A and B are shown apart, each in its own frame.
Chain A
Amino acid sequence: MMMLKVDNLVVRYGGITAVDGVSLELEEHETVALIGANGAGKTTTLHTISGLLKAAGGKIFFQDEEITKVPAENLVARGVVQVPEGRQVFAKLTVEENLRLGAYLQKNKQVIRANHEKVMTLFPILQERRRQAAGTLSGGEQQMLAIGRALMSNPKLLLLDEPSMGLSPLMTQQVFDVLLELKKQGMTILLVEQNAYEALTISDRAYIMETGNITLEGRSSELIHDPRVKDAYLGGDL
């Protein structure tokens, strides 16, 4: 089944066009990377898919139903869940409260408990920090919390916006290990990254984005050897 289809998406901030005709697709169980430099329009694309921003043109489909105009708060229940750039955990709320908010729309207590257990198994550190304010966690721990909170929403499609941003190499590795684990469990993932090497390593396919456009797309295993990608995103000689 086609999980996500973005068709010729255009997004503007006032007069500035930030996303200019982007099309992309995700099959169920696929992990797809969206790679691009700062300011390319990656976050804008994710925010529009999530319904935080309005599209000026184009269409978005989730599981073959159009969601172009569905606002963010109504999309979560359908399984489109975003882990936002810069984590955006609720700093003054406890770790536990943050996780509960992930399950805000979930009425079934058993499902909540099962997801909670899953998150705690995936991120044992969150168990230890349960009662702490989220703002007191390290950057890496906050990223774990942001992912854990998203998993509490029962995602069918997980959108991650630069989960490795600002993390130490060790923490980055841990985050990608978790993503790999989720991928193994069958999650459909759209991963936005500037960290092209890691993103291409764990993804099945990738899109390269430059100033509002997709300039290149293909299998990640091939793109990782593509000279154009190497020069621009992999520091030349990886």
Chain B
Amino acid sequence: MSAEYIISQLINGLRLGSVYAIVAVGYSIVYGILRLINFAHGDIMTIGVYIMLLFMTSTGMPLWSVIVVSVLVSVIVGVLIERFAYRPLRSAGEEATLISSLAVSTLLQNLLQMIFSPQKKAFYLPDFFTQQHQFGIVKLSTMNILTFAAVIIMVIALTLVVQKTKIGTAMRACSENLDASRLMGIKPNQVIVFAFAVGSGLAALAGLMLAGEYKTIDPLMGFVPGLKAFCAAVVGGIGSLYGAVAGGLVIGVAEMLFAGLMPTSVTAYRDAFVFVVLIVVLLFWPNGIFGRSEGRRS
């Protein structure tokens, strides 16, 4: 096993981890405010991808506008899910919304299977995205470079929003103390809708990256990466923006090193390995790497 091989697996891990990071941020900001693990979040990725496929194959729209449409539709779907599947149950407690999110996840998967068939479909991006670039010993596609760039831009943009804007300050206030925020005149529903919108839009982008990588898509494709991104959010410390990104990269690298370095007889267990990483991290950092110690909110 050469050093070059290990380095290339590391890079692959960072690529995959970047996708997890983008999805993990969505879990984290919603959890920060609602203490809700939104299991349907991974399926929003899938929705985004199918919308892209639909518009790419049936219209002559340029790719950038297809991406914009896909992000917008995903935002709308995410916001509608919050409005109709979570908000009515909010007063019934965290368990009720958690179960509702699992139901929504299954519903979305089945809907996609009904509309688009359960079969895998090819997903080709224009050559521009798949073109390979050599950097020393490292080979990256345009898509990979865009993925890294997306993570960096996301971190900078979200930091600015969270630190400098009114809605960002309201978000921080709500995730710290919902009742006190209401006493300031902050409407929690506005902040919650904003969190779902941001998370869902990011999920659509992550879906594009994942589909570009695998070159095929299917109605269940978002679920497992969604779970792994959730692990990433927990590993980093759920509720923390930087934690979600760090957790995503840690999980991605761990998964790719496992897949690349272990004997083929065990690499089939790479999904299970991610959960082992989660458990091990939580043994040492019960609140995740960047996590804050706090109890559940009553």
The answer to whether A90 and B185 touch across the interface, beta carbons within 8 angstroms, is no
The answer to whether A73 and B187 touch across the interface, beta carbons within 8 angstroms, is yes
List residues of chain A with CB within 8 A of the CB of B169.
93, 97, 100-101
B173 at the A interface (CB under 8 A)? yes
Query: Per-position contact with B for A103-141: 1 when CB-CB < 8 Å, else 0?
Result: 011000000000000000000000000000000000000
CB distance from A56 to the nearest CB of B (A): 15
**Interface range on chain A (Cβ under 8 Å from partner):** 20 to 34
Query: Per-position contact with A for B277-290: 1 when CB-CB < 8 Å, else 0?
Result: 00000000000000
A31 at the B interface (CB under 8 A)? no
CB distance from A18 to the nearest CB of B (A): 16
B83 at the A interface (CB under 8 A)? no
B184 at the A interface (CB under 8 A)? yes
List residues of chain B with CB within 8 A of the CB of A97.
169
> Contacts A100-B169, A101-B169, A104-B166 given: A88-B184 contact, CB under 8 Å?
no
Which residue of the partner chain, among B177, B184, B188, contacts A102 with CB atoms under 8 Å?
B184
Per DSSP, are chain B's interface residues mostly helix, strand or loop, or mixed? helix
The number of residues on chain B lying at the interface, defined by a beta carbon within 8 Å of a beta carbon of chain A, is 17
Rounded to whole angstroms, the CA-CA distance of A97 and B179 in the bound complex is 17
Query: Per-position contact with A for B259-289: 1 when CB-CB < 8 Å, else 0?
Result: 0000000000000000000000000000000
Point out residues on B near A: beta carbons under 8 Å. 166, 169-170, 172-173, 176-177, 179-188
Return the 6 tightest CB-CB contacts between A and B, nearest first: A76-B185, A72-B182, A105-B185, A88-B180, A101-B184, A73-B182
26 residue pairs of the A-B complex, CB under 8 angstroms, read: A52-B182, A71-B182, A72-B179, A73-B182, A73-B188, A76-B183, A77-B185, A81-B183, A82-B183, A84-B179, A84-B183, A88-B179, A88-B183, A89-B180, A90-B173, A90-B177, A91-B176, A100-B169, A101-B170, A101-B184, A101-B186, A102-B184, A104-B166, A104-B184, A104-B186, A105-B185
